[in-house]
Amino acid sequence: MDKKQKMQELRVFAAEIRLETLKVIASRGFGHVGGSMSMADAMAVLYGEVMNIDPKNPRWEDRDWFVLSKGHGGPVMYATLGLKGYYPMESAYTLNQPNTKFPSHTDRTMTPGVDLTTGSLGQGMSEAVGAALGNKIQGKSSHVFVAIGDGEADEGEIWEAAQFAAHYQLDNLICLVDDNKRQLDGAVADVMSHGKGIGAKFDAFGWDVINVEDGNDVEQIYDAVQEAYKTKNKPIALILNTKKGKGATFAEPSGAHSSQPTQEQWDEAIAAAEAALAEIRGK
């Protein structure tokens, strides 16, 4: 398959993830739409092309790992893993219902394909660093991908983990920063700004930093990962310039962290996501 075809497939996969993410959250009527939707394209690239995985054997020991440190993005992960066949997609529609295997924040003890438990922001980053070191000393050639939010980067633990990863030269660790410019209480710039920028911070901590101008473009994300693979002896941060709520008609304009739209708004958003998928498939 040539790259053009491959990218077309990833665009379709991202549109499918967006539609399913909306349907998963719509099954409860409310949830973390914003930070799920901004991640859809990165999830498509990772699970659609980049990662070495086996959905029938989620804990395959030579797999690539993925840690959603911004654990509230659970629905986008459930949509992605369901579409990849880790479990029947419909089972994710039990999101947050009693005894579900699909809790609000990702949980390694519950959901097939979830490698580490997250929810207390910052912790997934340290866990991912530990997994990268653990895999490395056991001679694995696999990679660990970790996704953090720009709001999450307020947490000191992110930077403790960053210095550890650089010190131990974890070039099998790739951190995707979902730089969607929004956190719960508003714009990151207003709530808690990042000085010279998150990329500058990672650079200062000794990481290789790759800026992805459009973090909602699968080709740019794919190219950045390929570039990251070339780095030796350093962890790599991909700064994904994303839009919070991307593709959710009720959430994208406001960049809301969580949403509880009306049924009418849900219907409109799902119809729009279906139309977007049909349009991309038609290309």
Binding stretches for other proteins (CB under 8 A): 61, 108-109, 115-117, 119-120, 122-123, 125-135, 137-138, 156-157, 160-161, 163-164, 167-168
CB-side exposure of 271: number of CA atoms within 13 Å? 6
Q: What is the 3-state secondary structure (H, E, C) of 192-227?
A: CCCCCCHHHHHHHCCCEEEEECCCCCHHHHHHHHHH
Cβ proximity to other proteins, 168 vs 229, nearer residue: 168
Least CB distance to other proteins at residue 264 (A): 38
Cβ proximity to other proteins, 53 vs 210, nearer residue: 53
Least CB distance to other proteins at residue 51 (A): 16
Least CB distance to other proteins at residue 203 (A): 19
Cβ proximity to other proteins, 14 vs 125, nearer residue: 125
Distance, in Å, from the CA atom of 49 to the CA atom of 68, rounded to the nearest integer, reads 18
Cβ proximity to other proteins, 110 vs 184, nearer residue: 110
Least CB distance to other proteins at residue 224 (A): 24
Where residue 239 falls (left for φ over 0; alpha for ψ -120 to 50; beta otherwise) is: beta
Least CB distance to other proteins at residue 126 (A): 2
Distance, in Å, from the CA atom of 111 to the CA atom of 109, rounded to the nearest integer, reads 6
Cβ proximity to other proteins, 67 vs 269, nearer residue: 67
Distance, in Å, from the CA atom of 198 to the CA atom of 221, rounded to the nearest integer, reads 17
Instruction: List, in order, residues 6 or more apart from 91 with CB less than 8 Å away.
Output: 82, 101, 102
